[in-house]
Amino acid sequence: MKSAIVTGANGFVGSAVVRELLDNGVRVCAVVHRDHRDNLPEREGLTVVSCGLEQMPRLPELIEKDTYDTFYHFAWAGSAGPARADTRLQLDNAQWTVEALRSAKALGCSRFLCAGTIMEHETTAAAYAQGNRPGLGYIYGGGKLIAHVMCMSVAAQIGIDLVWPEITNAYGPGERSPRLVNTTIQKCIRGEAPQFTAGTQNYDFVYIDDVARAFRLIGEKGKPFHEYLIGSSTARPLKEFLLEMQAAVAPELAFQFGDIPFTGIDLPLTKFDCSQTEADTGFKAEISFAEGCRRTFDWWKELAE
């Protein structure tokens, strides 16, 4: 990989991947929404293009053909918060992903990588469990799953290598969404004792620097039409992660477990297996959850001050 197009390049994961690619000598065309580029560095080898998700078919008009070999697609509207439950938006995201794939082919890219999620597997389990009543968050997972299936078929038909990395739970400085690590750390900074489910469900977290390195290595070495899980390789019950966070950033607080009912799907630990990613790409996470939480805590505390 010598050059790459990155959509969603100003976002949490996208901007981290842009920096990782530039640090390793890869030329990057960063595709951003409404010219937002505050998370991007001023670096040699970086070109910025403004193009919204709904304008993905226009990309070949904005970028010179046969200039980039790899296409990373991170742009996705409503990946956190209430918009996860917006059925129309999540269906649109899937269509926009297919249009990005077609644009990648038109631009002469030989590989297309989309940011998938472990929620695709959770969504399948939730939808096909007899008598289960899935929560609204699975609408987002369904959008990713639909995009995955459609891209596999379209990529095979038009002749471009599709590689599908799937993130477990990325976290770290720079992300402001109301997800578990962020909301818990914010409560710790305020001195509030966080409340959780019993925490017996299996979980995994992976620090943003490791996520970015994984995407680079998968882009370089991943096999076509394979999916690769990006995780810590230390998946375990959620309570164990949260107690590790408590010891790292708030040993004086009593984390409370069991006060909130769990309504999701508990995936078996086999679904968090990263051995294929490690074998094919050489990736292995390096930042422990405790260390990642300390760095994220310090970042949030600095923002608060």
Give the model's pLDDT for residue 119: 96
CB atoms near residue 6 (< 10 Å): 30
Q: Predicted confidence band at 215 (pLDDT cuts at 50, 70, 90)?
A: very high
Average pLDDT over residues 1-23: 98
Give the model's pLDDT for residue 43: 94
Give the model's pLDDT for residue 290: 98
CA dist., res. 29 & res. 102, Å (int): 17
- Judged against a pLDDT cut of 90, whether residue 268 lies above it is answered with yes
Q: Predicted confidence band at 198 (pLDDT cuts at 50, 70, 90)?
A: very high
Give the model's pLDDT for residue 76: 98
Average pLDDT over residues 261-284: 95
Question: Does residue 285 sit within a domain?
Answer: no
Question: Does residue 152 sit within a domain?
Answer: yes
CA dist., res. 294 & res. 146, Å (int): 36
The whole-angstrom distance between residue 280's C-alpha and the CA centroid of its chain comes to 20
Where does 76-137 have alpha helices with state H? 87-106, 119-127
CATH of the domain at 97: 3.40.50.720
CB atoms near residue 81 (< 10 Å): 12
Question: Does residue 79 sit within a domain?
Answer: yes
Q: Predicted confidence band at 171 (pLDDT cuts at 50, 70, 90)?
A: very high
Mean pLDDT, the chain, integer: 97
Q: What is the pLDDT of residues 175-191, one digit of tens each?
A: 999 999 999 999 999 99
Give the model's pLDDT for residue 20: 98
- Judged against a pLDDT cut of 90, whether residue 224 lies above it is answered with yes
CA dist., res. 237 & res. 198, Å (int): 10
Question: Does residue 66 sit within a domain?
Answer: yes
Question: Does residue 53 sit within a domain?
Answer: yes
Pick from 77, 76, 117, 134: nearest CA to 228:
117
Split into its structural domains, the chain has a count of: 1
- Judged against a pLDDT cut of 90, whether residue 238 lies above it is answered with yes
Pick from 117, 109, 26, 118: nearest CA to 71:
109
Question: Does residue 210 sit within a domain?
Answer: no
Show the 3-state SS of 150-168. Answer: HHHHHHHHHCCEEEEEEEC
CA dist., res. 225 & res. 217, Å (int): 16
Give the model's pLDDT for residue 264: 86
Instruction: Tokens for 9, please give them.
Output: 């390049």
Question: Does residue 199 sit within a domain?
Answer: no
Lowest mean pLDDT across 63-67, 108-112, 130-134, 242-246: 130-134
- Judged against a pLDDT cut of 90, whether residue 263 lies above it is answered with no
Question: Does residue 147 sit within a domain?
Answer: yes
Give the model's pLDDT for residue 305: 85
Give the model's pLDDT for residue 259: 85
Where does the chain have alpha helices with state H? 12-23, 59-62, 87-106, 119-127, 138-158, 180-190, 208-221, 238-249, 275-281, 289-304
Average pLDDT over residues 76-100: 96
- Judged against a pLDDT cut of 90, whether residue 1 lies above it is answered with yes
Q: Predicted confidence band at 279 (pLDDT cuts at 50, 70, 90)?
A: very high
Give the model's pLDDT for residue 201: 96
Q: What percent of the chain has pLDDT over 70?
A: 100
CB atoms near residue 87 (< 10 Å): 11
- Judged against a pLDDT cut of 90, whether residue 80 lies above it is answered with no
Are 155 and 112 contacting, i.e. CB atoms less than 8 angstroms apart?
A: yes
CA dist., res. 238 & res. 205, Å (int): 10
User: What are the φ and ψ backbone dihedral angles of 175, each rounded to 5 degrees?
Assistant: -100, 130
- What domain range is 87 assigned to? 3-167
Average pLDDT over residues 116-130: 95
Which residues lie below 8 Å from residue 121, measured CB to CB, with a gap of 6+?
Answer: 166, 267, 271
β-strand pairing of 206-207 with 226-230: unpaired
- Judged against a pLDDT cut of 90, whether residue 235 lies above it is answered with yes
